[in-house]
Protein backbone atom coordinates (compact mmCIF):
# COMPACT_ATOMS: atom_id res chain seq x y z
CA UNK A 1 0.00 0.00 0.00
CA UNK A 2 1.31 3.44 -0.96
CA UNK A 3 0.60 6.74 0.73
CA UNK A 4 -0.70 9.49 -1.50
CA UNK A 5 -1.56 13.14 -0.96
CA UNK A 6 -5.29 13.73 -0.40
CA UNK A 7 -5.51 16.54 -3.00
CA UNK A 8 -9.01 17.35 -4.12
CA UNK A 9 -10.60 14.97 -1.65
CA UNK A 10 -12.58 16.18 1.32
CA UNK A 11 -12.87 14.39 4.62
CA UNK A 12 -16.01 15.53 6.48
CA UNK A 13 -14.73 13.90 9.71
CA UNK A 14 -11.11 14.33 10.69
CA UNK A 15 -11.24 11.79 13.50
CA UNK A 16 -12.51 8.24 13.53
CA UNK A 17 -14.92 6.85 16.12
CA UNK A 18 -13.28 5.73 19.36
CA UNK A 19 -13.23 2.04 20.27
CA UNK A 20 -16.76 0.83 21.10
CA UNK A 21 -18.34 4.04 19.81
CA UNK A 22 -20.06 5.09 16.58
CA UNK A 23 -20.41 8.22 14.46
CA UNK A 24 -23.69 8.71 12.57
CA UNK A 25 -22.46 9.65 9.07
CA UNK A 26 -25.98 9.91 7.58
CA UNK A 27 -29.46 9.30 9.05
CA UNK A 28 -29.53 5.71 10.29
CA UNK A 29 -25.96 4.93 9.14
CA UNK A 30 -23.35 4.34 11.85
CA UNK A 31 -19.60 4.25 11.26
CA UNK A 32 -17.53 2.17 13.69
CA UNK A 33 -13.97 0.87 13.82
CA UNK A 34 -12.28 -2.33 14.87
CA UNK A 35 -8.54 -2.70 15.51
CA UNK A 36 -6.16 -4.79 13.36
CA UNK A 37 -2.77 -5.97 14.66
CA UNK A 38 -0.86 -4.69 11.59
CA UNK A 39 0.61 -1.50 10.12
CA UNK A 40 -2.86 -0.77 8.73
CA UNK A 41 -4.25 -0.86 12.25
CA UNK A 42 -8.02 -0.65 11.77
CA UNK A 43 -10.98 -1.66 9.62
CA UNK A 44 -14.16 0.39 9.27
CA UNK A 45 -17.53 -1.28 9.73
CA UNK A 46 -20.98 0.24 9.30
CA UNK A 47 -24.43 -0.46 10.70
CA UNK A 48 -27.62 0.49 8.88
CA UNK A 49 -30.76 0.99 10.95
CA UNK A 50 -33.61 -1.34 9.92
CA UNK A 51 -35.93 -0.30 12.76
CA UNK A 52 -36.21 -3.77 14.28
CA UNK A 53 -32.46 -4.37 14.09
CA UNK A 54 -29.39 -3.72 11.96
CA UNK A 55 -27.70 -4.59 8.74
CA UNK A 56 -23.94 -4.49 9.31
CA UNK A 57 -21.27 -4.08 6.66
CA UNK A 58 -18.07 -6.10 7.32
CA UNK A 59 -16.93 -7.57 10.61
CA UNK A 60 -13.22 -7.32 11.57
CA UNK A 61 -10.77 -10.10 12.46
CA UNK A 62 -11.98 -13.00 14.59
CA UNK A 63 -10.08 -12.20 17.77
CA UNK A 64 -11.07 -12.17 21.42
CA UNK A 65 -10.57 -8.42 21.51
CA UNK A 66 -12.72 -7.79 18.43
CA UNK A 67 -15.54 -9.99 19.75
CA UNK A 68 -15.47 -8.00 23.00
CA UNK A 69 -15.67 -4.70 21.08
CA UNK A 70 -18.60 -6.05 19.05
CA UNK A 71 -20.41 -6.82 22.31
CA UNK A 72 -19.72 -3.28 23.54
CA UNK A 73 -21.08 -1.91 20.25
CA UNK A 74 -24.19 -4.10 20.54
CA UNK A 75 -24.89 -2.83 24.06
CA UNK A 76 -24.07 0.78 23.18
CA UNK A 77 -24.54 2.34 19.74
CA UNK A 78 -26.58 -0.63 18.42
CA UNK A 79 -29.00 -0.21 21.36
CA UNK A 80 -29.35 -3.95 22.05
CA UNK A 81 -31.28 -4.44 18.83
CA UNK A 82 -30.26 -7.55 16.85
CA UNK A 83 -27.80 -7.75 13.97
CA UNK A 84 -30.24 -9.18 11.43
CA UNK A 85 -28.02 -9.21 8.36
CA UNK A 86 -24.29 -9.14 7.83
CA UNK A 87 -22.98 -8.00 4.47
CA UNK A 88 -19.41 -8.93 3.57
CA UNK A 89 -17.87 -6.76 0.84
CA UNK A 90 -15.04 -9.19 0.02
CA UNK A 91 -13.33 -12.30 1.33
CA UNK A 92 -10.35 -10.74 3.14
CA UNK A 93 -10.06 -11.69 6.84
CA UNK A 94 -10.43 -8.13 8.17
CA UNK A 95 -13.86 -8.00 6.49
CA UNK A 96 -15.20 -11.57 6.72
CA UNK A 97 -13.51 -12.52 10.02
CA UNK A 98 -16.55 -12.53 12.30
CA UNK A 99 -19.29 -13.16 9.74
CA UNK A 100 -19.62 -16.82 10.74
CA UNK A 101 -19.72 -15.82 14.41
CA UNK A 102 -22.52 -13.30 13.76
CA UNK A 103 -24.39 -16.07 11.90
CA UNK A 104 -23.84 -18.78 14.48
CA UNK A 105 -24.14 -16.75 17.71
CA UNK A 106 -26.71 -14.15 16.75
CA UNK A 107 -28.66 -15.77 13.92
CA UNK A 108 -27.69 -13.12 11.37
CA UNK A 109 -28.17 -13.80 7.67
CA UNK A 110 -24.96 -13.54 5.62
CA UNK A 111 -25.08 -11.78 2.26
CA UNK A 112 -22.06 -11.57 -0.03
CA UNK A 113 -20.94 -12.41 -3.55
CA UNK A 114 -20.54 -16.04 -4.53
CA UNK A 115 -16.80 -15.67 -5.12
CA UNK A 116 -16.29 -13.97 -1.76
CA UNK A 117 -18.20 -16.69 0.06
CA UNK A 118 -16.49 -19.58 -1.75
CA UNK A 119 -13.02 -18.10 -1.24
CA UNK A 120 -13.59 -17.34 2.42
CA UNK A 121 -15.00 -20.76 3.18
CA UNK A 122 -12.37 -22.62 1.14
CA UNK A 123 -9.52 -20.75 2.80
CA UNK A 124 -10.84 -21.20 6.36
CA UNK A 125 -10.98 -24.96 5.74
CA UNK A 126 -7.45 -25.05 4.24
CA UNK A 127 -5.39 -25.45 7.40
CA UNK A 128 -1.65 -25.49 6.70
CA UNK A 129 1.13 -26.11 9.19
CA UNK A 130 3.75 -25.28 6.52
CA UNK A 131 3.37 -23.52 3.16
CA UNK A 132 2.01 -25.78 0.40
CA UNK A 133 4.60 -26.89 -2.20
CA UNK A 134 2.72 -24.79 -4.79
CA UNK A 135 3.18 -21.73 -2.59
CA UNK A 136 6.95 -22.34 -2.28
CA UNK A 137 7.18 -22.83 -6.07
CA UNK A 138 5.21 -19.62 -6.56
CA UNK A 139 7.58 -17.71 -4.24
CA UNK A 140 10.57 -19.10 -6.15
CA UNK A 141 9.00 -18.04 -9.44
CA UNK A 142 8.55 -14.57 -8.00
CA UNK A 143 12.23 -14.35 -7.05
CA UNK A 144 11.62 -14.11 -3.31
CA UNK A 145 14.84 -13.19 -1.46
CA UNK A 146 16.65 -16.39 -0.40
CA UNK A 147 16.70 -15.53 3.32
CA UNK A 148 12.96 -14.72 3.36
CA UNK A 149 12.15 -17.93 1.48
CA UNK A 150 14.28 -20.02 3.84
CA UNK A 151 12.43 -18.56 6.83
CA UNK A 152 8.98 -18.98 5.32
CA UNK A 153 9.57 -22.60 4.38
CA UNK A 154 9.85 -23.54 8.05
CA UNK A 155 7.17 -21.27 9.49
CA UNK A 156 3.44 -21.72 9.92
CA UNK A 157 2.04 -19.52 7.14
CA UNK A 158 -0.80 -17.07 7.59
CA UNK A 159 -3.87 -19.28 7.96
CA UNK A 160 -7.31 -17.84 7.31
CA UNK A 161 -8.71 -19.98 10.11
CA UNK A 162 -6.48 -18.11 12.60
CA UNK A 163 -8.30 -14.86 11.89
CA UNK A 164 -11.66 -15.98 10.46
CA UNK A 165 -14.36 -17.67 12.54
CA UNK A 166 -15.76 -20.97 11.17
CA UNK A 167 -18.31 -20.26 8.47
CA UNK A 168 -21.54 -22.24 8.64
CA UNK A 169 -23.09 -23.47 5.40
CA UNK A 170 -25.46 -21.07 3.74
CA UNK A 171 -25.45 -17.48 2.55
CA UNK A 172 -27.45 -15.20 0.25
CA UNK A 173 -25.81 -14.26 -3.00
CA UNK A 174 -25.26 -10.66 -4.13
CA UNK A 175 -24.72 -10.04 -7.84
CA UNK A 176 -23.57 -7.27 -10.15
CA UNK A 177 -26.65 -5.29 -11.22
CA UNK A 178 -28.83 -6.39 -8.27
CA UNK A 179 -30.30 -3.89 -5.87
CA UNK A 180 -30.84 -4.27 -2.14
CA UNK A 181 -32.88 -2.37 0.46
CA UNK A 182 -30.86 -1.41 3.54
CA UNK A 183 -31.23 1.36 6.10
CA UNK A 184 -34.26 2.92 4.42
CA UNK A 185 -32.50 3.24 1.06
CA UNK A 186 -32.29 1.25 -2.15
CA UNK A 187 -28.71 0.46 -3.17
CA UNK A 188 -27.38 -0.65 -6.53
CA UNK A 189 -24.76 -3.38 -6.31
CA UNK A 190 -21.67 -3.05 -8.46
CA UNK A 191 -18.92 -5.62 -8.15
CA UNK A 192 -15.27 -4.76 -8.68
CA UNK A 193 -12.17 -6.89 -9.13
CA UNK A 194 -8.41 -6.62 -8.70
CA UNK A 195 -8.08 -6.19 -4.93
CA UNK A 196 -10.36 -9.17 -4.38
CA UNK A 197 -12.42 -11.05 -6.94
CA UNK A 198 -16.10 -10.09 -7.10
CA UNK A 199 -15.86 -7.38 -4.44
CA UNK A 200 -19.29 -5.87 -3.70
CA UNK A 201 -19.91 -2.12 -3.53
CA UNK A 202 -23.26 -0.43 -2.80
CA UNK A 203 -24.50 2.82 -4.37
CA UNK A 204 -27.52 4.50 -2.75
CA UNK A 205 -30.25 5.61 -5.15
CA UNK A 206 -31.78 7.83 -2.48
CA UNK A 207 -28.87 9.93 -1.30
CA UNK A 208 -25.12 10.30 -1.85
CA UNK A 209 -23.77 7.26 0.01
CA UNK A 210 -21.42 4.65 -1.46
CA UNK A 211 -20.34 1.65 0.62
CA UNK A 212 -17.04 0.85 -1.06
CA UNK A 213 -15.21 -1.76 1.06
CA UNK A 214 -11.57 -1.87 -0.07
CA UNK A 215 -12.39 -1.37 -3.75
CA UNK A 216 -12.02 2.40 -3.41
CA UNK A 217 -9.93 3.85 -0.58
CA UNK A 218 -8.65 7.38 0.03
CA UNK A 219 -4.94 8.09 0.72
CA UNK A 220 -3.77 4.47 0.32
CA UNK A 221 -4.10 2.35 -2.78
CA UNK A 222 -5.58 -1.10 -2.14
CA UNK A 223 -3.09 -3.95 -2.41
CA UNK A 224 -3.33 -5.79 -5.70
CA UNK A 225 -1.57 -9.13 -5.73
CA UNK A 226 -1.16 -12.41 -7.55
CA UNK A 227 -1.17 -15.61 -5.46
CA UNK A 228 -0.39 -19.28 -5.92
CA UNK A 229 -4.13 -20.00 -6.17
CA UNK A 230 -4.20 -18.37 -9.63
CA UNK A 231 -0.66 -17.59 -10.84
CA UNK A 232 -1.81 -16.25 -14.23
CA UNK A 233 -4.45 -13.90 -12.85
CA UNK A 234 -4.27 -10.31 -14.12
CA UNK A 235 -5.62 -8.31 -11.17
CA UNK A 236 -4.11 -5.05 -12.48
CA UNK A 237 -6.15 -5.39 -15.67
CA UNK A 238 -9.21 -6.31 -13.58
CA UNK A 239 -8.60 -3.36 -11.26
CA UNK A 240 -8.27 -0.83 -14.07
CA UNK A 241 -11.47 -2.16 -15.68
CA UNK A 242 -13.35 -1.72 -12.37
CA UNK A 243 -12.01 1.81 -11.82
CA UNK A 244 -12.99 2.88 -15.36
CA UNK A 245 -16.46 1.38 -14.93
CA UNK A 246 -16.98 3.01 -11.51
CA UNK A 247 -15.79 6.36 -12.94
CA UNK A 248 -18.97 6.27 -15.04
CA UNK A 249 -21.06 6.06 -11.83
CA UNK A 250 -19.10 8.45 -9.62
CA UNK A 251 -20.26 11.90 -8.54
CA UNK A 252 -18.18 14.53 -6.76
CA UNK A 253 -20.73 14.71 -3.92
CA UNK A 254 -20.73 10.96 -3.25
CA UNK A 255 -19.80 10.27 0.36
CA UNK A 256 -17.60 7.20 0.12
CA UNK A 257 -17.68 4.91 3.16
CA UNK A 258 -14.71 2.61 2.72
CA UNK A 259 -13.13 -0.25 4.60
CA UNK A 260 -10.13 1.75 5.83
CA UNK A 261 -9.16 5.37 6.55
CA UNK A 262 -11.76 8.19 6.57
CA UNK A 263 -15.03 8.75 4.68
CA UNK A 264 -14.46 11.16 1.80
CA UNK A 265 -16.02 13.05 -1.09
CA UNK A 266 -14.33 13.66 -4.45
CA UNK A 267 -14.80 10.17 -5.89
CA UNK A 268 -14.30 11.06 -9.60
CA UNK A 269 -10.88 12.51 -8.79
CA UNK A 270 -9.97 9.60 -6.52
CA UNK A 271 -10.75 7.08 -9.28
CA UNK A 272 -8.60 9.08 -11.71
CA UNK A 273 -5.76 9.08 -9.18
CA UNK A 274 -6.02 5.33 -8.64
CA UNK A 275 -5.95 4.69 -12.39
CA UNK A 276 -3.03 7.10 -12.96
CA UNK A 277 -1.06 5.63 -10.06
CA UNK A 278 -1.06 2.23 -11.71
CA UNK A 279 -0.28 3.59 -15.15
CA UNK A 280 2.62 5.51 -13.57
CA UNK A 281 3.87 2.39 -11.78
CA UNK A 282 3.64 0.32 -14.98
CA UNK A 283 5.60 2.97 -16.89
CA UNK A 284 8.40 3.11 -14.28
CA UNK A 285 8.51 -0.67 -14.21
CA UNK A 286 8.76 -0.92 -17.98
CA UNK A 287 11.71 1.48 -17.97
CA UNK A 288 13.35 -0.58 -15.19
CA UNK A 289 13.13 -3.95 -16.97
CA UNK A 290 15.37 -2.99 -19.87
CA UNK A 291 17.45 -5.88 -18.52
CA UNK A 292 15.72 -9.03 -17.17
CA UNK A 293 14.39 -8.69 -13.61
CA UNK A 294 12.39 -10.90 -11.26
CA UNK A 295 9.48 -9.57 -9.20
CA UNK A 296 11.69 -9.60 -6.10
CA UNK A 297 14.05 -7.13 -7.81
CA UNK A 298 11.36 -4.59 -8.74
CA UNK A 299 10.41 -2.97 -5.41
CA UNK A 300 12.38 0.27 -6.00
CA UNK A 301 10.62 1.47 -9.18
CA UNK A 302 7.21 0.28 -7.96
CA UNK A 303 7.10 1.57 -4.42
CA UNK A 304 9.74 4.35 -4.46
CA UNK A 305 10.61 3.56 -0.84
CA UNK A 306 12.27 0.74 1.08
CA UNK A 307 10.16 -2.29 1.94
CA UNK A 308 10.37 -3.66 5.47
CA UNK A 309 10.05 -7.25 6.57
CA UNK A 310 6.37 -6.84 7.55
CA UNK A 311 5.43 -5.56 4.09
CA UNK A 312 7.62 -7.94 2.07
CA UNK A 313 4.91 -10.45 1.23
CA UNK A 314 2.38 -7.83 0.08
CA UNK A 315 5.07 -6.01 -1.93
CA UNK A 316 6.11 -9.22 -3.67
CA UNK A 317 2.61 -10.24 -4.77
CA UNK A 318 2.02 -6.68 -5.98
CA UNK A 319 5.27 -6.72 -7.99
CA UNK A 320 4.25 -10.04 -9.59
CA UNK A 321 0.86 -8.50 -10.47
CA UNK A 322 2.43 -5.53 -12.26
CA UNK A 323 5.05 -7.59 -14.14
CA UNK A 324 2.54 -10.22 -15.16
CA UNK A 325 0.22 -7.47 -16.43
CA UNK A 326 3.02 -6.14 -18.67
CA UNK A 327 3.73 -9.69 -19.85
CA UNK A 328 0.08 -10.51 -20.55
CA UNK A 329 -0.40 -7.15 -22.31
CA UNK A 330 2.42 -8.14 -24.68
CA UNK A 331 4.78 -5.40 -23.47
CA UNK A 332 7.33 -7.70 -21.82
CA UNK A 333 8.83 -11.14 -22.34
CA UNK A 334 9.26 -13.69 -19.57
CA UNK A 335 11.91 -16.40 -19.14
CA UNK A 336 13.14 -18.63 -16.35
CA UNK A 337 16.18 -17.01 -14.77
CA UNK A 338 18.62 -18.25 -12.16
CA UNK A 339 17.02 -20.08 -9.19
CA UNK A 340 13.91 -20.75 -11.28
CA UNK A 341 12.52 -17.21 -10.97
CA UNK A 342 10.59 -15.68 -13.85
CA UNK A 343 12.55 -12.75 -15.21
CA UNK A 344 10.71 -10.16 -17.25
CA UNK A 345 12.19 -7.91 -19.90
CA UNK A 346 10.75 -5.03 -21.89
CA UNK A 347 10.04 -5.84 -25.52
CA UNK A 348 12.00 -3.61 -27.87
Nearest distance from residue 220's CB to Zn ion, in Å? 10
Nearer to Zn ion, 67 or 195 (CB): 195
Nearer to Zn ion, 227 or 288 (CB): 227
Nearer to Zn ion, 53 or 60 (CB): 60
Q: Smallest Cα–Cα separation from 165: which of 221, 98, 102, 220?
A: 98
Residue 290 C-alpha from the chain's centroid = 32
Q: Smallest Cα–Cα separation from 323: which of 78, 129, 126, 142?
A: 142
Nearest distance from residue 259's CB to Zn ion, in Å? 4
Nearer to Zn ion, 214 or 297 (CB): 214
Nearer to Zn ion, 94 or 198 (CB): 94
Nearest distance from residue 43's CB to Zn ion, in Å? 6
Residue 10, beta-bridge partner list: 265
Nearest distance from residue 346's CB to Zn ion, in Å? 31
Segment holding 56, helix H or strand E? strand 54-57
| Residues of the shown chain interacting with Zn ion in the complex, contacts defined by CB under 5 A | 92, 94, 214, 259
Contact 183, 49 (CB under 8 A): yes
Q: Smallest Cα–Cα separation from 158: which of 196, 128, 118?
A: 128
As a 3-state breakdown, the chain gives helix, strand, coil percent values, each rounded to 5, of 35, 20, 40
Nearest distance from residue 332's CB to Zn ion, in Å? 27
Residue 334, beta-bridge partner list: 344
Nearer to Zn ion, 185 or 195 (CB): 195
Nearest distance from residue 285's CB to Zn ion, in Å? 23
- 248/187 Cα distance (integer angstroms): 16
Region class of 224: left (phi > 0), else alpha (psi between -120 and 50), else beta: beta
Nearest distance from residue 92's CB to Zn ion, in Å? 4
How many residues are recorded in the chain?
348
Residue 203, beta-bridge partner list: 188, 210
Nearer to Zn ion, 17 or 53 (CB): 17
Amino acid sequence: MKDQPPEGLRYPWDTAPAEGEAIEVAPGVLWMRLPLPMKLDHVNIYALDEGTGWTVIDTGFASKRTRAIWKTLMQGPLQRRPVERVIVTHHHPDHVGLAGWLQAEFGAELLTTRTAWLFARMLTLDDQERPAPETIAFYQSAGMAADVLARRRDERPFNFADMVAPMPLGYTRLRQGDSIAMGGRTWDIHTGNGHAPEHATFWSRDDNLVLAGDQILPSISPNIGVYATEPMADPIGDWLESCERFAGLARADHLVLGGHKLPFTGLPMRLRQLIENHHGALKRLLAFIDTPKSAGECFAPLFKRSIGEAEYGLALVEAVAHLSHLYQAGLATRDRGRDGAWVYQRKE
